[in-house]
Amino acid sequence: MINLLIAGYHGYGNCGDEAILQAMTTNIRNMAKDVNITALSYRPDFTKTEYGISSVQRFNIPQVIYAIRSSDIILSGGGTLLQNGTSTRSLLYYLSIIKAAKIFKKRVMLYANGIGPVTGRINRRLVKSVINTVDVITLREKLSEQDLRNIGVTNPNVTVTADPAFKLGSIDREEAEGLLESEGIPRDRQRVGISVRAWSKAQYGDDYVVKIAKVCDDIVKSGKDVVLLPMEFPKDIEISKRVCRSMKEKGYMLEKRYTPGQILGIVGCFDLMISMRLHSLIFAAVQNVPMVGIIYDPKIEYYLKELDMPEGGDVRSERLDSNKIYSQVCDIFDNMEKYKACLKAKADTMIKKADENDRLLSAQLSIIRNKKESLK
CA distance 282 to 353: 13
**Rounded Cα gap, residues 60 and 58, in angstroms:** 6
Most distant CA pair in the chain, distance: 71
Residue 376 clears pLDDT 80, i.e. is over it: no
Cα(210)–Cα(63) distance, integer angstroms: 46
- pLDDT tens digits along 259-294: 999 999 999 999 999 999 999 999 999 999 999 999
What local confidence, expressed as pLDDT, does residue 177 receive? 98
For the segment 29-36, the average pLDDT, to the nearest whole number, is 95
Kindly report the backbone phi and psi dihedral angles of residue 319, in degrees, each rounded to the nearest multiple of 5, phi listed first: -80, 140
State pLDDT tens for residues 218-274: 999 999 999 999 999 999 999 999 999 999 999 999 999 999 999 999 999 999 999
Domain 2-160 CATH (choose: 3.40.50.11930, 2.60.40.180, 3.90.550.10, 3.40.1390.10): 3.40.50.11930
Q: DSSP label at 217?
A: H
Q: Where in the chain is CATH 3.40.50.11930?
A: 2-160
State the Cα–Cα distance between residues 309 and 291, nearest whole angstrom.
Answer: 6
Residues of the chain with CATH 3.40.50.2000: 173-349
DSSP-derived 3-state class of residue 41? strand
pLDDT score of 21: 97
The DSSP secondary-structure symbol of 254 reads -
Range 173-349 has CATH code 3.40.50.2000:
yes
Label residue 85 by pLDDT band (50, 70, 90).
confident
What does the angle CA 360 – CA 289 – CA 11 come to, to the nearest 5 degrees?
A: 55
DSSP assignment letter at 150: H
pLDDT beyond 80 at 185 = yes
Q: Are 267 and 229 in contact (CB under 8 A)?
A: yes
Section 353-371 average pLDDT:
97
pLDDT at residue number 78: 87
Q: What letter represents residue 248's amino acid?
A: K
Residue 257 DSSP class? -
Phi and psi torsions of 8, nearest 5° = -150, -170
pLDDT at residue 86, as a whole number: 84
Burial letters 126-152, b for 16+ CB under 10 A, else e: bbbebbeebbbbbbbbebbbebbeebe
Pairing of strands 291-295, 252-253: unpaired
